[in-house]
Structure 1
Amino acid sequence: MIPVTTLKGKKVAIFGLGGSGLATASALFAGGADVVGWDDSEERIDYAASAGIPTADLRSIDWSRFSALVLAPGVPLTHPAPHWTVGLARAAGVEVIGDIELFCRERAAHAPNAAFVAITGTNGKSTTTALTAHLLASAGREVAIGGNIGTAILSLKPPQPGLVHVIEISSFQIDLAPSLDPSVGILLNVSEDHLDRHGTMEIYAGLKERLVAGVQEGGTAVIGVDDDFSQAAADRVARAGRDVVRVSVRRPLADGVFVEGGRILKAEGAALSEIALLGGIATLRGTHNAQNAACASAAALALGLTPAQIQAGLRTYPGLPHRIEEVGRYGSILFVNDSKATNADAAARALACFSDIYWIAGGKPKSGGITSLEGFFPRVRKAYLIGEAAQEFSQTLDGKAPWTIAGTLDQAVARAAEDAAAAGLQQAVVLLSPACASYDQFKNFEVRGDAFRKLVKALPGVK
């Protein structure tokens, strides 16, 4: 745990008593703050109270006595409208922050030079976070990994010399962390997402840019430059005097890190050196994972790892669940769980990796649907559509790829497996890559992916 000493003796309100909220309360208590928590869920309020956390309806407290409101990242700060707690706090002149901000303040107060790698981007954050941590750990560094990847940041070890914090940070968390200042910041990419929470692409992209713009003096900003928003961000951050390492998987760079022919290369003027080879690493399949690996490698170089150490780490990377995860085989049929693909841009990365695909897609649709994926439809032998998006997706696919509305995941898996077996192809892939959120039928993408894995393993003959 990281005791939050920077608010010692202060009264602090917390809204959102999920995992990060409870960890925040414990960290504030440990640092000597006076804490009161609240939530929209009575069950969470009761659980927090049973854990010894004081609770009170924040509508009825005297806000003038409070120094801060710590808001859970899932609670609206600006769009579609600020949460009612935000309005009350701001009316009383109380700052609204998140747990990432508390971490940054503790690091600044006690170990400002401790290594802190922060990773953001529309897609690839979790893989790049896990891979960066793995590269460092395999080279013998002590690593603490957390943030949006699943472990609340304040439940980790405190910042200290010799320890590297590798933290995944979402746009919601950046919005609540005004003093975010990593020693190495990674911006992977920016594409349309979360506009219901940020309003416009310009606001969303601006938040992502803040992570690399805030890199501390002497630090490194690693920025993927294969989309217009990130390219512009790299130029602005460089003009502001920060050390910028540009990364591309689409073209060679005169100065930066790029991927060509399965090799991660580093260019410095006329000098060109090889960092690592990606060929044969199943857990890093696809162009999107080449970008993840190149950015993680650039961060590892900035932290002093050698190319040999990076290559060894890449070779032993085990991968993450729900991200192009191979979960079973039946003869020539490969079953792949890509439940983390909650938008079309993410699904494109999986579709690009395979041919002869029996594609399971659908769920709670996002803006734009799957129209942007039409270039991949020739790879799809048949689509099996589930959830709320099924009808919309069928209209997009009609006349371009065979489809059927399966409705539910269990029906989709059964039909896809049967059709793939009947086709007798040399290599077929049953791919769950939904291009949708899961909330219509599942609690989250992890539950959806676990259900897929269970259904696949229950099929006769699957290994």
Structure 2
Amino acid sequence: MPLPQTFSLLVLGQGSSGLDVVQWACSHLGDRVSDVTMYGGAKAQPNDRTRELERAGARFVFGTEDVEGAYDICVSSPGISEFSDFFAAGRAHSNEIMGEPEFAFRLSPSNWCAVTGTNGKTTTTSLVDHLLRFADIPSVAVGNIGNPPINEVDGRADGSWFCAELSSYQIATTKELHPRVAILLNITDDHLAWHRTHENYAEAKIRLFQNMDECDLAIVDVEDEGNMAHRDEIFKSGRRVLSLSCEDSGADDAAFVRDGRMVVRLAGVENELVSTADLQIAGHHNVINALAAAAAALACGTSAASVRAGLVNFAPLEHRIEPAGSIAGVRFYNDSKATNTDAVEKALTAFPRDRVILLLGGHDKGTPLEDFSRIVCQHVVAVVCFGEAAERFEHALEFAGAKGSGVTLARAEHMRDAVDVARTLAHADDVVLFSPACSSFDEFSGYEERGRAFKSYLDELRAADAAAIEG
């Protein structure tokens, strides 16, 4: 159902994407939008941006979640759970409620390529966008990657693609969102405070495919157990699904590795791409991410030759198994984006022949650690546990038999201390992997600040070593 020609707009939540929606609405007052009201939330207060938008014609209500009035459309910010009283209030006072990506889609529905999954979304979205641009196909990366699609709607070039990274929050309330190409990478426990149950979380991810048919292409990692637990809901009659795996499924639509080379088969036609060894992004999970992105780019109209060149040209993103240089022959990697155990397990596959010292810790999410600890013990020579979660990680690793497996366990107070301890355990050619499996909020504002602090401390250590040598 298209949006009304002119509508009154309610926006819930004073986050960045909500304010971006208000800004778009202010630029269309008297055109598409009759009036716009934002309820910032119980703790919301005026700031420079809200005052600027008030001057542009928006109305703001602060300090309450009790919505009043009647509106045609309500756009709810992603941080507001669909099970919350605030969301219910917005729905009760609006003809229709939706998230920002759905709102942007209704305004500009052509050529959406959407990517979701618990882990790997940003790398895969960035790579699809990179491959399209490399082929001179207009594209812009939007969504959870940091650029709300509403910001790109008005100036969008004809024939361009929106490569949209979408979180479960953003998909959960969609009705008409219809990507022409969509990727589901994996489903593991995360964001359960928002969704209430794992089933709700999984259903939100799968909802991405709800409007797709045989004219579209849904790309699904069939190696992932979380995805395959919902196989019947994904592989529906009338929907075209590409099976993504390192093994050839034999399907007419498949992406896989054969004799060390990546292959994408679309409607029975094979496109041989590059050797997995030619990728700059490391690890089994990044082979899957690259296969997904290559299949998506081909479905969007790129040539195989262009995809081959673009794949080998793509460098690792910041905070995602990012090389952070060496000290005394020890190699350091910044994987601060790994805020859950599944992401750490995937990162460890990037170092199958290396001696790895793993740095684990931060704000404890309370995730079960039994299976994770056994996997860690199989891949590392030492673990330094730090921060708020240190004690629970150490106990779980001890219970998993770390010491009997020859794995050294050490404790540290905080991130910098963990680096110092790791240096005492490492030898030349070893890998120190900063892949915390936790959020950062015991020490930092987010994984970005944490990752940059890690790299900055390494720079300090290198400078100190250089000064000592000169002295």
1:136 aligns to 2:132 (yes or no)? yes
Q: Which moved more, 1:145-154 or 1:347-356?
A: 347-356
Match of 2:36 in 1: 35
Please tell me the root mean square deviation across aligned C-alpha atoms, in Å: 2.4
2:127 & 2:256 partners in 1: Cα distance?
17
Q: Is the 8 A contact 1:8 1:31 kept in 2?
A: no
Match of 2:359 in 1: 360
Match of 1:111 in 2: none
Among candidates 13, 16, 26, match of residue 13 of structure 2:
16
Q: Is the 8 A contact 2:319 2:448 kept in 1?
A: yes
1:174 aligns to 2:174 (yes or no)? no
2:26 & 2:4 partners in 1: Cα distance?
10
Query: Post-superposition shift, 1:93?
Result: 5.3
Tell me the secondary structure at the aligned position of residue 262 of structure 2. Answer: strand
The code of the aligned residue for 1:368 comes to T
The code of the aligned residue for 1:102 comes to F
1:66-77 alignment, distance < 5 Å? 66-77=71-82
Match of 1:409 in 2: 415
Unmatched 5+ residue regions in structure 1? 109-113
The code of the aligned residue for 1:340 comes to K
1:419-438 alignment, distance < 5 Å? 419-420=425-426, 423=427, 425=428, 427-438=429-440
1:410-438 deviation per Cα after TM superposition (whole angstroms, max 9, x unaligned): 11112212332xx3x4x211111001111
Q: Is the 8 A contact 1:234 1:244 kept in 2?
A: no
1:67 & 1:369 partners in 2: Cα distance?
43
1:232-247 alignment, distance < 5 Å? 233=230, 235-247=232-244
2:334 & 2:369 partners in 1: Cα distance?
18
Relative to structure 1, is the Cα distance of residues 271 and 145 closer, same or farther in structure 2, using a 3 angstrom cutoff? closer
1:169 & 1:270 partners in 2: Cα distance?
29
Query: Post-superposition shift, 1:46?
Result: 2.5
Match of 1:391 in 2: 391
1:138 & 1:60 partners in 2: Cα distance?
48
Relative to structure 1, is the Cα distance of residues 404 and 40 closer, same or farther in structure 2, using a 3 angstrom cutoff? farther
1:280 aligns to 2:278 (yes or no)? yes
Q: Which moved more, 1:373-382 or 1:452-461?
A: 373-382
Q: Is the 8 A contact 1:370 1:435 kept in 2?
A: no
Give the TM-score of the pair, scaled to structure 1.
0.89
Query: Post-superposition shift, 1:238?
Result: 4.0
2:12 & 2:271 partners in 1: Cα distance?
50
1:216 & 1:160 partners in 2: Cα distance?
26
Unmatched 5+ residue regions in structure 2? 467-471
1:18-71 deviation per Cα after TM superposition (whole angstroms, max 9, x unaligned): 2111111111222332111132476653234322232124656533x2123221
Tell me the secondary structure at the aligned position of residue 414 of structure 1. Answer: helix
Tell me the secondary structure at the aligned position of residue 223 of structure 1. Answer: strand
Tell me the secondary structure at the aligned position of residue 453 of structure 1. Answer: helix
1:111-150 alignment, distance < 5 Å? 114-150=110-146
Tell me the secondary structure at the aligned position of residue 61 of structure 2. Answer: coil
Among candidates 23, 28, 31, match of residue 26 of structure 1:
23
Q: Is the 8 A contact 1:334 1:430 kept in 2?
A: yes
1:203 aligns to 2:209 (yes or no)? no
Query: Post-superposition shift, 1:269?
Result: 8.8
Tell me the secondary structure at the aligned position of residue 146 of structure 2. Answer: coil
Tell me the secondary structure at the aligned position of residue 381 of structure 2. Answer: strand
Q: Is the 8 A contact 2:67 2:90 kept in 1?
A: no
The code of the aligned residue for 1:90 comes to R
The code of the aligned residue for 1:377 comes to C
1:231 & 1:105 partners in 2: Cα distance?
31
Tell me the secondary structure at the aligned position of residue 331 of structure 2. Answer: strand
Q: Which moved more, 1:260-269 or 1:160-169?
A: 260-269
Match of 1:371 in 2: 370
Match of 1:90 in 2: 91
Tell me the secondary structure at the aligned position of residue 396 of structure 1. Answer: helix
1:165 & 1:59 partners in 2: Cα distance?
33
Query: Post-superposition shift, 1:203?
Result: 1.7
1:61 & 1:125 partners in 2: Cα distance?
34
Relative to structure 1, is the Cα distance of residues 299 and 381 closer, same or farther in structure 2, using a 3 angstrom cutoff? same
Relative to structure 1, is the Cα distance of residues 217 and 56 closer, same or farther in structure 2, using a 3 angstrom cutoff? farther
2:53 & 2:266 partners in 1: Cα distance?
56
Tell me the secondary structure at the aligned position of residue 19 of structure 2. Answer: helix
1:376-411 deviation per Cα after TM superposition (whole angstroms, max 9, x unaligned): 324323222122210100101224032222121111
Match of 1:316 in 2: 313
Relative to structure 1, is the Cα distance of residues 134 and 268 closer, same or farther in structure 2, using a 3 angstrom cutoff? closer
2:349 & 2:420 partners in 1: Cα distance?
24
The code of the aligned residue for 1:254 comes to G
2:299 & 2:443 partners in 1: Cα distance?
43
Q: Is the 8 A contact 1:323 1:339 kept in 2?
A: yes
1:274-329 deviation per Cα after TM superposition (whole angstroms, max 9, x unaligned): 233221323x2110001100000110111121221111001111221100000111
Match of 1:344 in 2: 341
Relative to structure 1, is the Cα distance of residues 260 and 192 closer, same or farther in structure 2, using a 3 angstrom cutoff? farther
Give the TM-score of the pair, scaled to structure 2.
0.88
1:89 & 1:18 partners in 2: Cα distance?
16
Query: Post-superposition shift, 1:239?
Result: 2.7
1:167-187 deviation per Cα after TM superposition (whole angstroms, max 9, x unaligned): 100000001322111111111
Q: Is the 8 A contact 2:213 2:240 kept in 1?
A: no
Tell me the secondary structure at the aligned position of residue 46 of structure 2. Answer: helix
1:416 & 1:59 partners in 2: Cα distance?
47
1:44 & 1:418 partners in 2: Cα distance?
48
Query: Post-superposition shift, 1:263?
Result: 1.5
2:140 & 2:267 partners in 1: Cα distance?
35
Q: Is the 8 A contact 2:271 2:304 kept in 1?
A: no
Question: What percentage of residue pairs aligned between the two structures are identical?
Answer: 32
Q: Is the 8 A contact 1:359 1:380 kept in 2?
A: yes
Match of 2:469 in 1: none
1:47-86 alignment, distance < 5 Å? 47-53=48-54, 54-57=59-62, 59=65, 62-63=68-69, 65-78=70-83, 82=84, 84-86=85-87
Query: Post-superposition shift, 1:460?
Result: 2.6
Relative to structure 1, is the Cα distance of residues 44 and 305 closer, same or farther in structure 2, using a 3 angstrom cutoff? farther
Tell me the secondary structure at the aligned position of residue 239 of structure 1. Answer: coil
The code of the aligned residue for 2:60 comes to T
Match of 2:290 in 1: 293
